[in-house]
Amino acid sequence: GQQLNQSPQSMFIQEGEDVSMNCTSSSIFNTWLWYKQDPGEGPVLLIALYKAGELTSNGRLTAQFGITRKDSFLNISASIPSDVGIYFCAGLSRGAGSYQLTFGKGTKLSVIP
């Protein structure tokens, strides 16, 4: 089956630093999604990428859909304490009447004030 390799697994950074995380896949996806999950809560969609090469920003977040359609990265600039959480990449594939997500294993971000 499809697998996503997400790295790094965890990060400890100082407040104000920039953060970068990425996902690679053995399969092609037509859409990449990035979610953030706080403890005990559901994942919240941050950015959706629909085209190979697409670069999309959402405030301090920037994500890119790789040209090969097998990878994506997420950057967070000038990190703040509320950025703490687990970030998941997800590749979207089309099934029978629905879309299915394949998740990466997540990147746990800790921000030191």
Partner 1 sequence: DTEVTQTPKHLVMGMTNKKSLKCEQHMGHRAMYWYKQKAKKPPELMFVYSYEKLSINESVPSRFSPECPNSSLLNLHLHALQPEDSALYLCASSQAWEGGIEQFFGPGTRLTVL
Cα–Cα separations (whole angstroms), residue 110 to 7, 52, 68 = 14, 30, 30
Rg, Å, the chain Cα set: 14
What's the closest the beta carbon of residue 42 comes to partner 1, in angstroms? 4
Residue 92 touches partner 1, criterion: CB under 8 A? yes
- Residue 108: other Cβ atoms inside 10 A: 15
What's the closest the beta carbon of residue 95 comes to partner 1, in angstroms? 6
Q: Per CB under 8 A, which of residues 24..83 are in contact with partner 1?
A: 31, 33, 35, 40-45, 48
Q: Among 14-22, 57-65, 72-80, 100-108, which window interacts with partner 1 (CB under 8 A)? A: 100-108
- If phi over 0 gives left and psi between -120 and 50 gives alpha, with beta otherwise, what is residue 51? beta
- The contact set with partner 1 (CB under 8 A) reads 31, 33, 35, 40-45, 48, 88, 92, 95-101, 103-106
